């Protein structure tokens, strides 16, 4: 897949040239070409022992939770989605103590909110809670 991606990047880079040997296409072509060549070499050369590039169900759940957090944040808002996400992630990792889950999820997300909104003046999207903040 990497080789295919690099090959298409090499092809697209052709559009950035100006007909000289110092145009905008030189470096992208050089690098994409190198990825392509090394990718093909890696396919045929004996390789060091590697694991299968798979993702475990637990990692997938963490990824799905994070994607949901990012997808829902603009509409529902950070104040609700962030604690749910942190709590959910700790649950996936196996933490079951409700007091710890609640206090850490609320504490962490509130600290980050305060830092971003009060120190950096750029709070994350508040979504449904826009009127409150």
Partner 1 sequence: MEALSIFQGMTTVLGDPVTLIFVFLGVIAGVFVGAMPGLTATTGCALLLPFTFGHEPLHGLLMLVGVFTGGIYGGSLSAILLRTPGTPAAAATMIDGFPMSERGEAGRAIGLATVASFVGGSVGAIVMTLLAPKLAALGLAFGPPEFFALTLFGLAMIVAVSGDSLVRGVMAAAIGMWISTIGFDPIAGSSRYTFGIRELLGGVELIPILVGLFGVAQVLARAEKLLVFPKSPEKEKFLPRLSDLALTKWTAVKSALIGVFVGSVPGAGCDIAAFAAYSELKRSEGVGSDLGKGNPKGIVAPEAANNAATTGALIPMLSLGVPGDAVTAVLLGALTIHGFEPGPVFFSSNLDLIYALFAGVIFAQLALLIVGLSLTGLFARLIRIDQRIMIPAILFLCMIGSYSVRYSLFDMYVALIFGCVGFLFEKVRIPLSPLLLGVVLGTLSEQNLRRSLIMSHGDLAIFVQRPVSLALTAGAFFAIVFMVLRLRRSTT
How is residue 99 written in tokens?
Answer: 């007091």
* Closer Cβ to partner 1, 6 or 126, answer by number: 6
DSSP string, 21-69: TTSTTHHHHHHHHHHHHHHHHHHHS-----------HHHHHHHHHHHHH
- How far is C-alpha 114 from the geometric centre of its chain's CA atoms? 23
Q: How far is the CB of 132 from partner 1 (least distance, A)?
A: 19
The nearest distance, CB 131 to partner 1, in angstroms, is: 20
User: Applying CB under 8 A, which residues contact partner 1?
Assistant: 2, 6, 9, 12-13, 16, 18, 20-24, 26-28, 31-32, 34-35, 38-39, 41-42, 45-48, 50-56, 58-59, 62-63, 66-67, 69-70, 73-74, 82, 85-86, 89-90, 92-95, 100, 104, 108-109, 112, 116, 119-120, 122, 124-125
Q: What angle do CA 64, 133, 101 make, to 5 degrees?
A: 40
């Amino acid at each position: 897949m990497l080789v295919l991606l690099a090959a298409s990047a090499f092809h697209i880079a052709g559009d950035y040239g100006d007909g000289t040997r110092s145009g905008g296409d030189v470096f992208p072509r050089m690098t994409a070409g190198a990825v392509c060549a090394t990718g093909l070499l890696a396919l045929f050369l004996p390789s060091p022992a590697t694991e299968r590039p798979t993702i475990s169900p637990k990692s997938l759940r963490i990824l799905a939770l994070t994607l949901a957090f990012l997808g829902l944040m603009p509409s529902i808002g950070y104040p609700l989605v962030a604690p749910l996400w942190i709590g959910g992630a700790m649950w996936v990792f196996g933490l079951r103590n409700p007091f710890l889950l609640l206090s850490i999820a609320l504490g962490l997300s509130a600290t980050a909110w305060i830092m971003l909104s009060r120190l950096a003046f750029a709070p994350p999207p508040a979504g449904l809670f826009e009127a409150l903040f």
